[in-house]
Chains A and B, each alone.
Chain A
């Protein structure tokens, strides 16, 4: 593992130019050329399937498998949606990729579209990513001029692709697969009921594949270097668990919160949280120690200091009661921080971002915020903790009470916080402490 060489960040770490020429001279678009010249779309799908690549957006669904869900022999159009609505708190790896090395992303988009025979790709970028939008647009323009987009790409007859950038308007729910499609269609981003899944009926009622930026960036390298190379990185599948597809490939880990050196690092999947904090994040700031860690974006719940040796692969966080790997965005909370404040912040976020469609999530997120806010004001009751835990347990697609996973993400941090830090909440409630009032602007919701 020590000799791991960055793949996705290779050019970025060298501070290479994001321009097309520089990207090409570094071997860029080699994979695309190879695929177009030597491989059929089906072969690309097979390679990606064989590589064991799993979606980097949070759910970790096998990418190649998702592509095979498209109806066979569909007359088209088939749409590709690239999810760059990177709204999970503490997550910023897509942003780095788009801003610093847009052609790597674009090559992945073109390759993926080739594989699924999509003729239009929509790049859905969150509104706040201005520089990323501009960088991607510049790369798209360059690609059109170079014959990498448009009609008969790279001289291959019938390989047509147009890429359009669609900017979101700032809602977290637009990052949900079908919420994104609704938003793309110009509607309110209320996630759709499934089935039909987007691969059968997605954007504009046509077959649609939605992939994350980092996922498609990986596709480039898989086609370039082969599935075997990709499989040599990361954590192999657990032979005792037939349902575990393994965690292969490199992953961009975001490190943020109370560390000395926040940022994005690229490592093979399966690195432990402790290694990330100590080796790559420069340790906890101000000489303090870890109280809690969010392993993969706010929705995944909390880990305690005792659980830092958990490997961050697709299966690891689940073993310590977290929802999953999520976006692999590690947020460190130091020992001087009140979990009540942290949880209050979490609840504010989800109360604000719940789309309001399903009753359990709409009312549950609001109720949890009201309870936590009251606890924070010093008016908490012991039974409030039980209510929080119960509500956290009963909302989401896992118990079957909501349409999308936002509610799972809202419930998980609440119930893991209460379960893992119950003593702190109880002593806070007993002491009758009143938290420092936040400025009005920060509380306003």
Chain B
């Protein structure tokens, strides 16, 4: 067992191979850094993570190195002593560790590192425009944060700053404010090591060095927007988010990207019921550190003015707005009536966008109405093939794969399938029930969709077939062929407006949480099912999840509640992050 001492505090690191930043993290000490990122190679060039290191000798004395070293490049070993610039500062509730036996001539531990970090920040700010008031990054900028925490408050430079030109041309999705760049080269390394095509590069030398693209080859790969997250300052900006919102107004909610079955963990940044951006949330059990541009920019339909806002009901073609108070009893009556007359002709189509809890409730409700009803899995949209990164310059995938954008463009096929399997022993895909619709053998059809209209997986033909059902109830976000043919249109909620569980391609169950209120009278699917079943009160994903875990063995691991990083279900091996 290896022990290292971070600011006098002993930390057991076991057999782990860590650098000083990671070891300090385990001791609860943060070492500021810009260029280091766990997913990228170490370049040790920003010189923000400078620390003092030494070795604890067997006789209890400490031998310190006379110079500072970058923490990111320093692998820790047994009896290593790490002193950071914050030496001597302790958390209020923490016991103060006994100081180690530093050499008498060493001076105050931490002073060297503290000065070196302040010097680095002074350097970084020399040519920085300090245009925080108009910079999108302000509020979540590492240059701001570290300057405040570790820097000096005044600049000693009175000379003119360098003003390299901005580069909005580097990508259709990204703009570069060259003068704000601190040359950590995270973005360059990302395009070389992760997305692989190396679109970004460094031009010029010394203080004139700039990030740029090669002429005529903009940064247009499917992972490109990750460089905006990687940028510790406001140099790389997402054109989608640019000047939309100050980040301190944003409320961040942990969620899951619903746009493919990879199920990337995300931060959902919202303000006043508007979704402003999605950012990847680090999750070694899901996707790692990043997410694709398609998922990141796939949120816009949530904010759309075209959403279905109110429940509608009435004979075909003569739908009129109704209140939920009117519609729920009417629907319950209609369903009971028809299901009683022809129980074999009830079909519910469960969308792969439903959460596990919603699928469970709907399946239970329908089976409760008519035990011989058919539960089918809604159309699963498959687009192309799984797209893996890194890619080489010619766009060919390379090994080892570090990121996969999946062809299955829905979040919860796995979870809905397991629910269906429980209720009827098998998964009936939509294609197997379509003929029953065209043959007029369906009296009641309950259709759930709940996806962005360009990603539903429904084609015109299928929709027309389903439209022939005797009684058609549609739960969706947008109007379409099916809502026009329906007798009941129930406006549902997007993934940012409800809570529940998605199970990704590898069987990882992750929780989504409510970040915004649904528009007007749209009501979450789960709530509608509870209302129909006559259960009073609000839909709580946690309680339904407990019930689900108790009922279906596949979901049993969820009984103890949801982990922020998700819980692995089924017998699926742990994939390499």
Q: What is the minimal beta-carbon distance from A299 to any residue of chain B, in angstroms? A: 15
A188 to B202 Cα, complex, angstroms: 9
- The answer to whether B204 and A362 touch across the interface, beta carbons within 8 angstroms, is no
In the assembled complex, B120 has its CB within 8 A of some CB on chain A: yes
Contacting residues, chain A, for B73 (C-beta < 8 A) = 193
Interface centre among A171, A359, A398 (most CB of B within 10 A): A359
Contacting residues, chain B, for A171 (C-beta < 8 A) = 205
Number of A-B contacts (CB under 8 A): 99
- The answer to whether A367 and B50 touch across the interface, beta carbons within 8 angstroms, is no
- The answer to whether B119 and A360 touch across the interface, beta carbons within 8 angstroms, is yes
Contacting residues, chain B, for A402 (C-beta < 8 A) = 47
In the assembled complex, B67 has its CB within 8 A of some CB on chain A: yes
Q: A359-B120, A359-B124, A367-B126 are in contact. Are A354 and B67 (CB under 8 A)?
A: no
Contacting residues, chain A, for B162 (C-beta < 8 A) = 366
- The answer to whether A363 and B123 touch across the interface, beta carbons within 8 angstroms, is yes
In the assembled complex, B68 has its CB within 8 A of some CB on chain A: yes
Q: Which among B115, B124, B156, B160 is the interface contact of A387 at CB below 8 angstroms?
A: B156
In the assembled complex, A370 has its CB within 8 A of some CB on chain B: yes
Q: Which among A351, A359, A371, A399 is the interface contact of B183 at CB below 8 angstroms?
A: A359
Q: A358-B47, A363-B126, A401-B68 are in contact. Are A351 and B206 (CB under 8 A)?
A: yes
In the assembled complex, B577 has its CB within 8 A of some CB on chain A: no
- The answer to whether A401 and B206 touch across the interface, beta carbons within 8 angstroms, is no
Contacting residues, chain B, for A201 (C-beta < 8 A) = none
Q: Closest residue to A365 on the B side, CB-wise? A: B206
- The answer to whether A193 and B208 touch across the interface, beta carbons within 8 angstroms, is no
Q: Which among A193, A355, A374 is the interface contact of B206 at CB below 8 angstroms?
A: A355
In residues 185-243 of chain B, which contact A (Cβ within 8 Å)? 202, 204-209
In residues 290-325 of chain B, which contact A (Cβ within 8 Å)? none
Q: What is the minimal beta-carbon distance from B68 to any residue of chain A, in angstroms? A: 4
User: Mask for A346-360, Cβ within 8 A of B = 1, else 0?
Assistant: 000001111111111
Contacting residues, chain B, for A398 (C-beta < 8 A) = 67
Contacting residues, chain A, for B207 (C-beta < 8 A) = 351, 354, 356, 362-363, 365-366
Q: Which among B43, B116, B126, B209 is the interface contact of A401 at CB below 8 angstroms?
A: B116
In the assembled complex, A57 has its CB within 8 A of some CB on chain B: no
A358 to B205 Cα, complex, angstroms: 11
Q: A399-B68, A400-B68 are in contact. Are A356 and B44 (CB under 8 A)?
A: no
- The answer to whether B120 and A401 touch across the interface, beta carbons within 8 angstroms, is yes
- The answer to whether B116 and A356 touch across the interface, beta carbons within 8 angstroms, is no
Contacting residues, chain A, for B47 (C-beta < 8 A) = 358-360, 401-402
In residues 107-133 of chain B, which contact A (Cβ within 8 Å)? 115-116, 119-120, 123-124, 126-127
Contacting residues, chain A, for B158 (C-beta < 8 A) = 374
A88 to B103 Cα, complex, angstroms: 39
Q: Closest residue to A373 on the B side, CB-wise? A: B159
In the assembled complex, A403 has its CB within 8 A of some CB on chain B: yes
Q: Closest residue to B115 on the A side, CB-wise? A: A394
A402 to B391 Cα, complex, angstroms: 33
Interface centre among A363, A394, A398, A402 (most CB of B within 10 A): A363
Q: Which among A353, A356, A363, A371 is the interface contact of B124 at CB below 8 angstroms?
A: A363
- The answer to whether A193 and B124 touch across the interface, beta carbons within 8 angstroms, is no
A401 to B119 Cα, complex, angstroms: 10
A370 to B182 Cα, complex, angstroms: 19
A18 to B502 Cα, complex, angstroms: 78
- The answer to whether B123 and A359 touch across the interface, beta carbons within 8 angstroms, is yes
Interface centre among B123, B160, B206, B209 (most CB of A within 10 A): B206
Residue ranges of A at the interface with B (Cβ–Cβ < 8 Å): 171, 173, 188, 190, 193, 351-360, 362-367, 370-371, 374, 383, 387, 394, 397-403
For the complex of A and B, the 9 pairs showing the least CB-CB separation, nearest first, are A400-B67, A366-B207, A356-B209, A363-B123, A354-B206, A370-B159, A400-B68, A357-B45, A356-B206
